[in-house]
Amino acid sequence: MTTPDLFDAPPPGPDQARVAELHSLLHHHAHRYYVLDEPEIPDAEYDRLFRELQAIEAAHPELVTPDSPTQRVGGKPLAQFASVRHAVPMLSIRTETDTEASGAEAFDARVRRELDLGETEPAVEYVAELKFDGLAINLRYEQGVLVQAATRGDGEVGEDVTQNIRTIGQIPLRLPEGVPAVLEVRGEVYLRRDDFNALNERQREKGEKTFVNPRNAAAGAVRQLDPAIAAQRPLSFFTYGLGEVTPGAVQVASHFAWLQLLKSWGFPVCDHVVIARGAPDLIAFHRRMGELRDSLPYDIDGVVYKVNRLDLQQQLGFVTREPRWAVAHKYPAQEMLTTVQAIEIQVGRTGKLTPVAKLAPVFVGGVTVTNATLHNEDEARRKDVRIGDTVIVRRAGDVIPEVVAVLPEKRPPGAEMFTMPHTCPVCGSAAVREEGEADYRCTGGLFCSAQRKQAILHFAHRRAVEIEGLGDKLVDQLVDSGVVNTLPDLYRLGLTALASLERMADKSAQNIVEALEKSKQTTLPRFLFGLGIRHVGEATAKALARHFGKLDAIMDASEEQLLQVADVGPVVAQSIRTFFEQPHNREVVEQLRACGVTWEEGEPAPIEVQPLAGKTFVLTGTLPTLSRDQAKDMLEAAGAKVAGSVSKKTDYVVAGAEAGSKLEKAQALGVKVIDEAGLIRLVNPDAA
Ligand code: IVH
């Protein structure tokens, strides 16, 4: 079957032809999405087509047919799973894509009109929630026991995925005494971003297909026929509603009260649920969550507003398959389509060659994206990105934008497969990929101007010696004009040399000179980190400085001595040795010192003061004040190891807000769980 062509403008002609075309497109993509879990286009694109059809049908009701994609939600269940007819249909929800305040205002105005509320009557009470980007599940409990879990399917009939859902630790299998005889709880199954990344990492290691996004990975897991495989995908769950409930079993008057009750019965309810009065509160929630979106540990695609009082919900009722009492208010899409204009090779500080797709500018995840990394040769091959390709670009959270998939049917004829160059595009030296390595590296070393530039930028970085104002444009100019070749050259720059550079104002030149002067007074860890020794990050630089106290001791340390530093393994030790064995590297250090770069040297640490040596920690959730990197640095400096997943060998789990499956696992295994304050006490036993 060939894929219909979506992206060309609709052919001129009667609406009827376009309607037929939209039917076939939407059916095709709904099948890819719901049945195969392999969408070819981003949701935003699907939504756009869907809305186009809705608009035509609104203008020409005579064109609405019973099989129109607007007349049903979702797709057919797979033959392999048993079908489940929902006792209460699983509705869809009206969506406002307008990201401005008007989305909330329009909803509030509609609700007030339907309820016949005059202007003088008080604000309607709503519950505002997050719109999780996963898949909807109905959990059926009879006499307090989970008897069935089903997907939404087409809203009337879903699939029985009980086996797979049982593997989700957050979902209670048995409820406390006193719950209604029949209780159906609805919510979203999703994958946290860290779990998604770890899953893809494992897939990559195994040489298997990676998942496009957390939602697809979650959907794939839920609809995995082998529950053993499903169990390996660490799914999470949030509760947001109800299906069938034995009438009169509980006295609850509002949606919010229901959520509290469900929470008390052991269902996970998201913390970001608030009661909102009137449109202004809804708008504020939408804005606040929009700001929080990137830092949440899971994907959301919007927020949901629901009328809180159940009697009012009843009064409002439904239009077709959508309740009048709820609406989804979306955020800008995190996945969009664009085209690849070129594939460039960037040369990093250590000579690493990274293929980067240059994209036609596209607004995704709230920013305009023009570049997306293709990581390395294997990754670029796996995705088979070619110049001219139409691709799905994703930017979620604060992660760098990524090309997640290519639309092969949009490929221009004759587009050639990408190959990594075997010479450095900057200096022409040979580029080699060592056995067992993922990356090609330029062998030019500091002969390569790209490596020189990166080395200078790294040295000037704010976490290294920090030379304020020395950015990539200026470094390009300095290196390209031959004024700066080595790090010490920086400190030989005079005001005249700087001011004579193109587009350099006297004042800016003066600022750079001052910043250079200021950077001379630094610390040993910053200086060491700034040298850019391979495998020596900030934490290692700090550990080395603490252990040896003086730079000369580090420069002259044998591999054996280096190995005594906690966290320095054979690879790192070897890399440090190799670096300081090179006469030109020693020369650079001497010249920097001669130029006046200085720091206070310390005494070697008598014995390792490492309160947490040998202990393994796992971090999960958002800590109140420390970023994940800061917490990791602190732990590593204290000698601890920080691991990605919880096992019996884990000594402590540090849990913050929204901690998920890792916390559950810790509890299940009886691993000690501490909070940020506990972590600080452990790292700093004397301070307490
Ligand atoms: S309420 C009658 N609340 O969005 C209202 N849905 O069409 C039923 N979703 O696929 C849905 N987060 O899985 C509701 N807090 C939330 C939600 C939510 C995500 C999904 C749901 C469904 C779609 C609604």
**Calpha distance 81→584 (Å, rounded):** 67
Contact between 412 and 341 under an 8 Å Cβ cutoff? The reply is no
H or E segment to which residue 358 belongs: strand 353-364
pTM of the model: 0.62
Between CA 250 and CA 663 the distance in angstroms is 31
How far does the centroid of ligand 1 lie from the alpha carbon of residue 10, in Å?
A: 32
Q: Residue with the nearest Cα to atom 15 of ligand 1? A: 131
Ligand 1 in contact with 93 (CB < 6 A)? yes
Pairing of strands 135-142, 145-151: antiparallel
- Centre of ligand 1 to C-alpha 136, Å, is 7
Strand locations in 383-430 (E): 390-394, 402-406
- Residue nearest atom 6 in ligand 1 by C-alpha distance: 131
DSSP 456: H
Tokens encoding 76: 């057919």
CA-nearest residue for atom 17, ligand 1, is 131
Tokens read off for 546:
């603490």
| Separation of alpha carbons 163 and 152, rounded Å | 16
Answer whether 340 contacts ligand 1 (Cβ < 6 A). no
Length of the chain: 688
Residue 313 beta carbon below 6 angstroms from any ligand 1 atom: no
- Which amino acid is located at 174 in the chain? R
392 φ/ψ sector (left φ>0, alpha ψ -120 to 50, else beta): beta
DSSP 436: T
Would you state the pLDDT for residue 140? 97
**Atom 10 of ligand 1, residue of closest alpha carbon:** 136
Cα–Cα distance measured from residue 667 to residue 664, given in angstroms and rounded to the nearest whole number: 5
The C-alpha atoms of residue 530 and residue 490 are separated, in whole angstroms, by: 14
| Residue 4 DSSP SS3 | coil
Burial class (CB in 10 A: 0-12, 13-18, 19+), 474: buried
Is the model's pLDDT at 36 over the cut of 90? no
CB of 26 shorter than 6 A to ligand 1 = no
Our CA angle for 316, 322, 328, nearest 5°, is 95
**Residue 99: predicted pLDDT:** 61
pLDDT confidence of 89, banded at 50, 70, 90?
Answer: very high
Q: Is 326 in the pocket of ligand 1 (CB under 6 A)?
A: yes
pLDDT given at position 191: 94
| Beta strand ranges found along 155-246 (DSSP E) | 157-159, 182-190, 236-245
Q: Is 92 in the pocket of ligand 1 (CB under 6 A)?
A: yes
C-beta of 305 in contact with ligand 1 (< 6 A): no
Residue 228 CA to ligand 1 centre (angstroms): 28
Q: Is the CB of 75 under 6 A from ligand 1?
A: no
- Within a 13 Å sphere around the CA of 74, how many CA atoms are in the beta-carbon half? 20
Average pLDDT for 482-492: 93
pLDDT of residue 608 exceeding 70: no
Q: How far apart are CA 622 and CA 645, in angstroms?
A: 16
Residues forming a β-bridge with 403: 393
Told to judge if 383 belongs to the known catalytic residues of this protein, a careful annotator would answer no
Query: Which atom of ligand 1 has the smallest separation from the CA of 131?
Result: 12
The answer, yes or no, to whether any atom of ligand 1 lies below 6 A from the CB of 155, is: no
Model pLDDT, residue 553: 96
- The per-residue pLDDT for 286 is 94
User: What one-letter code names the amino acid at 482?
Assistant: G
Do residues 130 and 272 lie in contact, with contact meaning Cβ atoms separated by under 8 Å? yes
Structure tokens at 66: 């019973």
Closest by CA to 427, choosing from 351, 376, 373, 350, is 351
Q: What is the CA radius of gyration of the chain?
A: 29
Query: Is the Cβ–Cβ distance between 655 and 646 less than 8 Å?
Result: no
Q: Is the confidence at residue 76, as pLDDT, over 70?
A: no
Nearest residue (by CA) to ligand 1, atom 12, is 131
Check: CB of residue 409 under 8 Å from CB of residue 391. Answer: no
Of the candidates 304, 311, 360, the residue with the CA atom closest to the CA atom of residue 327: 304
* CB distance 186 to 137 below 8 Å: yes
Calpha distance 681→676 (Å, rounded): 9
Cα(133) to ligand 1 centroid in Å equals: 9
What is the number of the ligand 1 atom nearest to the C-alpha of 133?
19
Greater model confidence, 97 or 416: 416
Element spanning 336, H or E? strand 335-347
Ligand 1, residue 136: give the atom nearest the CA.
13
560 has a pLDDT exceeding 70: yes
Task: Write a three-state SS string for 193-213.
Answer: HHHHHHHHHHHHHCCCCCCCC
Q: Residue 2: pLDDT above 50?
A: no
**Ligand 1 centre and the CA of 290: distance in Å?**
18
> Which of 72, 65, 66, 114 lies closest to 89, judged by CA?
72
CB-ligand 1 contact for 196 (6 Å cutoff): no
The three-point CA angle 50-52-55 to 5° equals 110
Give the nearest ligand 1 atom to 95 CA: 7
Token pair of 81, please?
Answer: 């799973």
Max mean pLDDT range (189-193, 226-230, 399-403, 660-664) = 189-193
User: Over 90: is that where the pLDDT of 550 sits?
Assistant: yes
The finding on whether 47 has its CB within 6 A of some atom of ligand 1 is no
For residue 318, the CA-to-ligand 1 centroid distance in Å is 15
Ligand 1 atom closest to the CA of 241, numbered from 1 = 1
According to the model, what pLDDT value does residue 24 have? 86
Please, are residues 285 and 272 in contact by the beta-carbon 8 Å criterion? no
Among 127, 240, 272, 285, name the best residue to mutate to test ligand 1's pocket (greatest count of ligand atoms within 8 A of Cβ): 240
For residue 9, what pLDDT is reported? Answer: 43
Ligand 1 contact via 301 beta carbon (within 6 Å): no
* Angle CA 655–656–660, to nearest 5: 70
C-alpha of residue 303 to centroid of ligand 1, in Å? 9
Phi, psi of 643 (to 5 degrees): -105, 165
Q: Tell how far the Cα of 323 is from the centroid of ligand 1, in angstroms.
A: 11
Alpha-carbon torsion (158, 160, 163, 169), positive or negative: positive
Q: Among the options 76, 131, 518, 615, which is catalytic?
A: 131
**Rounded Cα distance, 500 and 505, in Å:** 9
- Cα 92 to ligand 1 centroid, rounded to whole Å: 7
Starting at the earlier edge strand, list the strands of the sheet with 326-330: 94-96, 326-330, 300-307, 125-132, 274-277
- Percent of the chain exceeding pLDDT 90 equals 56
Which tokens sit at 330?
Answer: 């979306």
Is 43's C-beta closer than 6 angstroms to any atom of ligand 1? no
